[in-house]
Structure 1
Amino acid sequence: MLAFEKSLSFGFIDNRLVHGQVGVTWVNALGANLLLVANDSAAQDPVQQNLMDMVISEGIQTRYFTLQKTIDIIDKAAERQKIFIVCKTPQDVLILVKGGVPIKFVNVGNMHFSEGKKQIHKTVSVDDNDIATFKELEKLGVTCEVRRVPDESGEKIADLLNLS
């Protein structure tokens, strides 16, 4: 997940994109008024968008943009907008950061285990590509941590991967 305001740049990764915890708990904790899903596939899938819209807190606007569209328009956001950006993978976040989206902090909510991945946290499993991406994000000054819910203390990905 990623939340963006002119003064604060916060991101969020969850391979499920938007579900109840993201659409209510995190949105409310961040004080967001716009949830932006930055994902090429979801941007083209109205059925998936409708399902995600069902779990969003009332009064919160949603947008489903491709990564490139997010890069192209994020700087046009009004000062009053508190945008919470949700991405599916760390690679998506890296594309946004390299494209100029001013993300300085990323929370990793969930990255499912699958073949070829190793579990580094209860809710986070990574492969070599993910590890390389987190290393690059760290080098670019982006702090990444795992925090399942807003009031839980976070664990830095760099520490979980022994990057520091």
Structure 2
Amino acid sequence: MPNILLTRIDNRLIHGQVGVTWVNHLGANLIVVANDEVAEDEVQQDLMDMVVPEVIGTRYFTIQRTVDIISNAAEDQLIFLVCRTPQDVLRLVEGGVPLKKVNIGNMHFSEGKQQVASTVSLDESDKEAFRKLHKLGVELEIRRVPDEKPEDILKFL
């Protein structure tokens, strides 16, 4: 079983809140970004690595590669898993990644989405992914930063 401390959905993936605030709060020593686009984009990876303290490892994998190898994680790897969308998280869970809790931090507003919290906007596809994750036993919370009170996303579905 991999030591996945928390999984976060954040459109921005790694940035200051993720690379410093959440990592310190969780005690993570590895951030795994599971995203098909970023796994193939070294420029984005380099930019994200700039905000992460040097003592924290980073890995950038496609969703399928994450499914295939996360169970091989060493016991001393304390993993903070970051995804861009709820659909990516659902693919991980359906692929067998043992996720218990998902933090929804930032899902940008765009056309067709409804803002449900200060930093979270959803469309029907997002809502359906969250419903499926809930049915699969995954706890879901909206929370930007660790010291903020979590909000249950289920009331918006």
Counterpart among 132, 137, 141 of residue 141 in structure 1: 137
Paired position in structure 1 for 2:60: 64
Query: 1:160 Cα shift?
Result: 3.1
Pairing 1:51–2:18 present = no
Deviations 1:41-72 (A, max 9, x none): 00000000000000012300000000001000
Q: CA, structure 1 residues 94+57, in 2 after alignment: closer, same or farther (shift >3 Å)?
A: same
Query: 1:152 Cα shift?
Result: 1.1
Counterpart among 85, 104, 113 of residue 117 in structure 1: 113
Pairing 1:23–2:15 present = no
What is the aligned-residue identity percentage?
64
Is the 1:12–1:106 contact (alpha carbons within 8 Å) kept by the matching residues of 2? yes
Q: CA, structure 1 residues 78+60, in 2 after alignment: closer, same or farther (shift >3 Å)?
A: same
Uncovered stretches (5+) of structure 2, i.e. residues with no partner: none
TM-score, length-scaled by structure 2: 0.96
SS state at 2:97 partner: coil
Q: Please, which moves more after superposition, 59-68 or 7-16?
A: 7-16
Provide the aligned C-alpha RMSD in A.
1.2
Paired position in structure 2 for 1:40: 36
Query: 1:77 Cα shift?
Result: 0.6
Cα distance in 1, alignment partners of residues 37 and 145 from structure 2: 26
* Regions of 4+ moved over 3 Å: 5-9
Cα distance in 2, alignment partners of residues 44 and 123 from structure 1: 27
Uncovered stretches (5+) of structure 1, i.e. residues with no partner: none
SS state at 2:9 partner: strand
